Structure 1
């Protein structure tokens, strides 16, 4: 028997604009974007509570598709929630290093990065030239989260500015993750 999942999109700081692959996936595939009250000054605790509310609103397990700060949301939520069984897997795309000295003050409440192992199937998708996370910091997060990882080469921050369009390769990665989560 094949288990179906809800796919929840978790955008990063300032949300995902119309050219972002998350927005395209939402429009084309009907995935649900988890809306936050404040995209400009995100508070980790507020975002965690909103994710928890959305996960508890349905008995159907979810697969989380996070971009940028949304990746750190998944890690923080998983470390503190008593409802991690609501999540079958997570695709974490372009996690940022908010512990860097040059991060804007809007993101200070996300320090330190939560580094506990993720209790569900997890895939970190990263770019070799992401301006918001160097490869050393990225590898540390992947190891700490005990996640699988895959490089997409040089694609910047893997966002709307990266020119990925609907990003079919990302959709294939998501389908692979969902197949893993089913087994």
Structure 2
């Protein structure tokens, strides 16, 4: 498992960090967390993935990292085992964090491996309709977990047991 945190990183009580500690997942460490450049993030993601066996790799991305990961897929077209894309931020929307570069437009290409998009009905960074569009064009299973904000610490998501269950579903596809 390879986790890819979004802007700002995950922090010590974020579900990604807790999963990394509990289950030994590897976390992508970006050089710049607060004002990222998509091209740099994509290259960093690629550096991590090159060291792993793609056939057995599941990526767990959150927020803007979902977009960077989709850019990585478009650029490198490497087939991995699967991806869990949680709260994919809409880089084309005015709510996307300022100070970033290269994330827009969000690639709308079908992924060459199984994936699940998890979203909530009240995420400030992506509308439910846009998240559904992402899932449709990426060929992902779509999971709406209800009013869960951005599915992060601010939304009071710590360990996030439901996310582990969804991840387990992806591992069984």
Regarding TM over 0.5, the answer is yes
Counterpart Cα distance in 1 of 2:144 and 2:114: 17
1:23-71: CA deviation from partner (whole Å, max 9, x where unpaired): 1101111101010111111111111111111111133631000000111
Matched, 1:58 2:63: no
SS class of match (1:92) = strand
2:23 matched residue in structure 1: 29
Match for 2:76 among 76, 81, 85? 81
Tell me the number of residue pairs that the alignment of Structure 1 and Structure 2 aligns.
Answer: 172
1:114 matched residue in structure 2: 107
Structure 2: stretches of 5+ with no match in the other structure: none
1:4 matched residue in structure 2: none
Counterpart Cα distance in 2 of 1:49 and 1:151: 30
Match for 2:124 among 117, 120, 131? 131
TM-score, normalised on structure 2? 0.94
Structure 1: stretches of 5+ with no match in the other structure: 1-6
TM-score, normalised on structure 1? 0.89
Computed over aligned residues only, the root mean square deviation of the Cα atoms, in angstroms, reads 1.3
Counterpart Cα distance in 1 of 2:16 and 2:57: 16
Question: What aligned pairs does 1:152-167 form with structure 2 within 5 A after superposition?
Answer: 152-167=145-160
C-alpha deviation, 1:102, in angstroms: 3.9
SS class of match (2:172) = helix
Contact kept in structure 2, 1:89 and 1:120, CA below 8 Å: yes
Contact kept in structure 2, 1:97 and 1:132, CA below 8 Å: yes
SS class of match (2:167) = helix
Matched, 1:40 2:40: no
Q: Which runs of 4+ in 1 moved over 4 A?
A: none
- Kindly name which structure, 1 or 2, has the bigger radius of gyration based on alpha carbons: 1
1:138-174: CA deviation from partner (whole Å, max 9, x where unpaired): 1221111111111111110000112122111100111
SS class of match (2:72) = helix
Counterpart Cα distance in 2 of 1:20 and 1:29: 14
